[in-house]
Homo-oligomer: A and B are copies of this chain.
């Protein structure tokens, strides 16, 4: 059993999720691959090799993984939902021209920023979405 699989297994047990072959395959794909995959891309990727996973199971697995913080859906505009392994927090950049969705390294909001605007809510996290022209389109 691979090192990755053992660590995923531990993550599943910690999270109280039954470790199934399909969940392994989905999470492993997200953990290994470039980010922001659609459910359809994941479906095809995990079915290149056994075991197979149905479309419904890809969606179910993504929801289960997201529920325990092992994956997350990325807020985006239009088209299919996109997912990534929920490893390190980071921000996002959305190109107006080509629509690409890129990661931006994490940085904290300075302490207290905007605190006055958030009364009554329990904030568990945040993310900044930048918009503009990506380096490629800028050339």
Contact = CB atoms under 8 A, between A and B. Distances in A.
Interface string A41-72: 00000000000000000000000000000000
Interface of A: 73-78, 81, 91, 93-94, 96, 104-105, 107, 109-110, 113-114, 117-135, 138
B96 A124 contact: yes
Instruction: Kindly name the residue among A75, A118, A119 whose own CB sees the greatest number of chain B CB atoms within 10 A.
Output: A75
A56 B60 CA distance: 32
A130 B122 contact: no
Contacts of A122: 132-133, 138
A64 to B, nearest CB: 15
Contact of A131 (B96, B126, B129): B126
